C-alpha cells in the first residue's frame, strides 16, 4: 500500500478531531489531531508507561493515563464516566473526539523452535530470518542426528511450554522427505492432548516434496502454514516469504493476546495495526510524497525492539530485531554485541563495571528517562549498536551481494548501506535527547551514510499513529505529517574512501539563499558543521580529493546540489567509509570527544 496516505479531497465525513495511540513495549504515546482553520494539526501529545504487565495487566490503563494527562493540556473531557474514549465529539467541540485509532507493539517477541535436517544451511537461514522478524529462537532440533535430540527433556519442554511457532525447514527441493514426516508424527503425538488454543503455529519452509505429506499429518491439529523453501538449493537463500509470515503471525496472533487488547479494539474506529506496519505506511508515504529517487531509510529504536525499514521506488523492505533496545532490550543487545563494542562509542571515561550497572538498571527500570550525560552517551552507544545489528539483518535479507565472499562481509557490517535521500529516525531515547548533536552523531556512526542525505526525526513520536489515521482519514494524516510531522536535523555530506588524517578530503563552496558564500576545506578524519537554519536553502559545490567518492561512483569527481537546512545545518562527515575505530579505548574516547564537540553548539555542554 505505497499510497496509504494519499490525500483525498476534503469532505463533511472527514473527522474534526481524532485521538490516536501507540502502545509500545515500554511507553504509550497518545496524540490529538484536530482541524484548525481548515487544516488538521497536531494539537497535543502525552505519554505514560505501558501497562501490559504486572500489576495492571491491561494496556488500556496506560492509554487512559496518557489521555487523562492530555485532558489537562487541552482542558476538555476525552473519556466518559466509565473510562472509555468519548465518541463522537459534541457539536460544541467541548468534549470527546470523532474517532480513536491505535497501533501496538506491546506483545513480547514470538518464541520459536526450529526443526531442521541439519544444524547448517536451512537452519542458519531460518534463524537469521527469525532474528529480523521480532522472533526469538529458543531451541533447534536437528533431524540429521538420527533423532538423538528427541530426548525426554525436549519432548517435555515442547509439551509443557509450547512455543508460539514451530518452524520446520530442511532439504533442498526434491530432497528427502522421511525425516520431516517422522518429525511431523512426533509433533502430532506431543500436542494431540493439548488444548487447541495453546498449540503452536507450525510454519513449513522446507522441501516442496514434503508439503502434501506434512499437510495431511499436521493441518488437522495445528494452524499449519506453508511458505517458500528458505533453501531451495545449497547456493540460494529465499527468506522473504518466511519473514512476511512471521510478521503476520505476530500481528494477528501475538498482539491480540496482550491484556486489554480487546477493549482497546472496541474503542478503535479501525482494526489495530502493529506499530511496524503503521510506521511502514508512513515511511512509504513520505518517500512517495517527496519523490525520493534513492528512497528512504527508516529507523525506530524502542525499549525492546529495533525496527529498520527501507523504501525504494514501490518496494518496501523491513526488519524488526527482537530483544535489541535501550531498556528491556539492553541485556539482549549486550549479549549480541558485547561490552567492548558499546564502550568504544563513549566520549567520557566509564569503566566496564559502571557500564554494566547502567545496562542492568535500564533493563530493570525501563520507564526511566536519561538524567545525566553518562545516561545519554551510554544510551546512544546502545542506539548505535542496535541500529547496526538491525542493518545487518537488512543486509542478510535484502542487500547481500550474490557472491559468497561479499555476502559474508555484508552480513558482518563490512558492506556499506545503500545510498538513500532521507534518513527518518525515531524512538523514545531519540525523543528524550535534548541535544541534536548527540542524535546526529549517533545516526552517522550507526548508518554510515554515503553521499548526500537529509536527516529528520519524529519529535512528537506520532509517525505510527499517523499511519493508522490514514486508514480512514488520509487527508488528516497527510496534513499533520506535512505541518507537524518532522524535526529536521539537516543535510549530511559523507564521502566514501580513506584518507590520511589532516589531508584535505573535501573542498566546499556553499552559497546560502541569503547571499552569504562560505568556502570550506574539510580534512580527512573530521566532522564539521555549517549553520543553515530550518527553512533556509543553499547551493553546495563539493570537490573531493582523489581518495574520496561523494556518492557518484567515481573518486575525485565533484558535484553540486541544492540542500535544505535544519537544526544542525549542513554536516560534513569526512571520516571515510567504512568508519574505522581504533582498538585503543583511550584513542577512541579522544576522537569521539572531538567529533562530538563539532556538532554541539555550546562546548560547555559537550562531554569531556
| pLDDT tens digit sequence for 128-153 | 999 999 999 999 998 875 555 578 88
| pLDDT tens digit sequence for 310-335 | 999 889 999 999 989 998 888 899 99
Per DSSP, which regions of 387-546 are E strands? 422-426, 451-457, 487-494, 496-497, 504-512, 517-523, 527-530, 537-544
Three-state SS annotation for 279-342 = HHHHHHHHHHHCCCCCCEEEEEECCCCEEEEEEECCEEEEEEECCCCCCCCHHHHHHHHCHHHH
C-alpha–C-alpha distance, residues 324 and 252, integer Å: 22
- The H or E element spanning position 42 is strand 39-49
Q: What pLDDT is attached to residue 409?
A: 43
Beta bridge partners of 509: 519, 541
Q: What pLDDT is attached to residue 10?
A: 44
Q: What pLDDT is attached to residue 3?
A: 43
Same fold, 17-106+258-270 and 110-255: no
Q: What pLDDT is attached to residue 13?
A: 67
| pLDDT tens digit sequence for 259-305 | 999 999 999 999 999 999 999 999 999 999 999 999 999 999 999 99
**How many C-alpha atoms does 318 have within 13 Å on its Cβ side?**
24
Q: What pLDDT is attached to residue 369?
A: 74
The ranges assigned to domains in the chain are 17-106+258-270, 110-255, 486-577
Beta bridge partners of 19: 32, 100
Per DSSP, which regions of 367-433 are E strands? 422-426
Q: What pLDDT is attached to residue 445?
A: 97
Beta bridge partners of 292: none
Domain 110-255 is found in CATH 3.30.430.20? no
**How many C-alpha atoms does 438 have within 13 Å on its Cβ side?**
25
Query: For 487, phi and psi rounded to 5 degrees?
Result: -115, 115
On the 0-12 / 13-18 / 19+ scale of CB atoms within 10 A, 53 is middle
Residues of the chain with pLDDT under 50: 1-4, 7-11, 402-413, 602-608
Q: What pLDDT is attached to residue 11?
A: 46
C-alpha–C-alpha distance, residues 390 and 388, integer Å: 5
Q: Are strands 537-544 and 487-494 parallel, antiparallel or unpaired?
A: unpaired
Domain 17-106+258-270 is found in CATH 3.40.50.300? no
Amino acid at each position: 500500500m505505497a499510497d496509504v496516505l494519499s490525500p483525498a479531497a476534503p469532505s463533511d465525513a472527514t473527522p474534526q478531531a481524532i485521538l490516536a495511540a501507540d502502545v509500545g513495549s515500554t511507553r504509550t504515546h497518545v496524540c490529538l489531531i484536530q482541524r484548525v482553520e481548515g487544516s488538521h494539526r497536531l494539537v497535543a501529545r502525552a505519554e505514560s508507561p505501558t501497562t501490559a504487565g504486572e500489576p495492571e495487566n491491561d494496556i488500556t490503563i496506560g492509554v487512559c493515563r496518557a489521555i487523562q494527562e492530555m485532558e489537562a493540556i487541552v482542558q476538555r473531557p476525552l473519556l466518559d464516566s466509565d473510562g472509555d474514549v468519548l465518541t463522537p465529539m459534541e457539536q460544541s467541540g467541548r468534549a470527546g473526539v470523532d474517532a480513536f485509532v491505535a497501533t501496538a507493539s506491546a506483545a513480547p517477541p514470538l518464541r520459536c523452535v526450529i526443526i531442521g535436517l541439519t544444524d547448517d544451511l536451512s537452519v542458519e537461514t531460518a534463524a537469521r530470518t527469525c532474528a529480523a522478524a521480532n522472533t526469538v529462537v529458543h531451541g533447534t532440533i536437528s533431524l540429521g542426528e538420527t533423532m538423538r535430540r528427541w530426548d525426554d527433556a525436549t519432548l517435555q519442554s515442547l509439551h509443557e511450554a509450547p512455543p508460539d511457532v514451530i518452524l520446520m525447514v530442511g532439504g533442498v527441493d526434491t530432497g528427502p522427505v522421511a525425516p520431516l514426516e517422522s518429525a511431523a508424527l512426533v509433533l502430532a503425538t506431543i500436542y494431540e492432548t493439548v488444548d487447541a488454543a495453546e498449540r503452536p503455529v507450525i510454519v513449513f519452509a522446507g522441501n516442496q516434496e514434503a508439503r502434501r505429506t506434512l499437510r495431511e499429518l499436521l493441518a488437522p491439529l495445528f494452524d499449519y502454514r506453508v511458505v517458500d523453501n528458505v533453501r531451495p538449493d545449497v547456493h540460494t537463500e529465499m527468506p522473504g516469504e518466511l519473514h512476511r509470515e512471521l510478521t503476520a503471525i505476530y500481528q494477528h496472533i501475538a498482539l491480540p493476546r496482550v491484556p486489554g487488547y480487546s477493549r482497546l479494539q472496541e474503542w478503535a474506529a479501525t482494526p489495530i495495526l502493529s506499530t511496524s506496519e503503521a510506521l511502514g505506511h508512513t515511511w512509504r508515504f513520505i518517500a512517495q510524497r517527496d519523490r525520493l529517487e534513492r528512497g528512504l531509510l527508516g529507523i525506530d529504536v524502542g525499549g525492546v525492539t529495533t525496527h529498520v525499514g527501507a523504501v525504494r521506488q514501490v518496494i518496501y523492505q523491513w526488519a524488526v530485531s527482537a530483544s535489541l533496545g535501550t531498556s528491556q532490550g539492553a541485556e539482549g543487545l549486550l549479549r549480541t554485541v558485547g561490552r567492548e563494542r558499546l564502550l568504544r562509542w563513549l566520549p567520557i571515561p566509564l569503566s566496564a563495571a559502571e557500564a554494566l550497572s547502567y545496562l542492568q538498571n535500564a533493563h530493570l527500570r525501563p520507564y526511566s528517562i536519561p538524567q545525566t550525560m553518562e545516561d545519554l552517551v551510554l544510551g546512544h552507544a546502545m542506539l548505535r549498536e542496535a541500529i547496526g545489528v538491525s542493518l545487518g539483518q537488512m543486509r542478510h535479507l535484502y542487500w547481500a551481494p550474490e557472491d559468497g565472499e561479499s555476502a559474508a562481509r555484508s552480513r558482518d557490517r563490512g558492506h556499506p548501506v545503500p545510498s538513500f535521500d532521507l534518513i527518518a529516525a525515531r524512538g523514545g531515547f531519540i525523543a528524550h535527547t535534548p541535544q541534536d548533536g548527540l542524535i546526529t552523531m549517533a545516526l552517522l556512526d550507526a548508518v554510515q551514510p554515503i553521499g548526500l542525505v537529509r536527516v529528520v526525526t519524529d519529535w512528537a513520536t506520532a509517525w505510527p499513529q499517523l499511519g493508522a489515521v490514514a486508514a480512514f482519514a488520509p487527508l488528516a494524516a497527510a496534513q499533520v505529517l506535512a505541518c507537524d510531522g518532522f524535526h529536521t536535523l539537516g543535510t549530511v555530506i559523507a564521502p566514501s574512501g580513506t584518507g590520511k588524517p589532516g589531508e584535505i578530503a573535501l573542498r566546499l563552496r556553499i552559497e546560502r539563499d541569503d547571499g552569504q558564500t562560505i568556502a570550506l576545506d574539510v580534512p580527512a578524519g573530521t566532522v564539521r558543521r555549517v549553520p543553515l537554519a530550518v527553512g533556509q536553502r543553499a547551493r553546495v559545490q563539493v570537490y573531493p580529493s582523489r581518495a574520496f567518492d561523494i556518492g557518484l561512483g567515481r573518486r575525485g569527481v565533484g558535484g553540486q546540489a541544492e540542500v535544505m537546512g535544519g537544526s544542525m545545518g549542513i554536516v560534513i562527515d569526512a571520516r571515510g567509509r567504512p568508519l574505522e575505530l581504533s582498538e585503543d579505548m583511550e584513542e577512541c574516547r579522544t576522537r569521539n570527544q572531538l567529533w562530538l564537540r563539532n556538532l554541539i553548539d555550546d562546548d560547555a555542554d559537550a562531554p569531556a
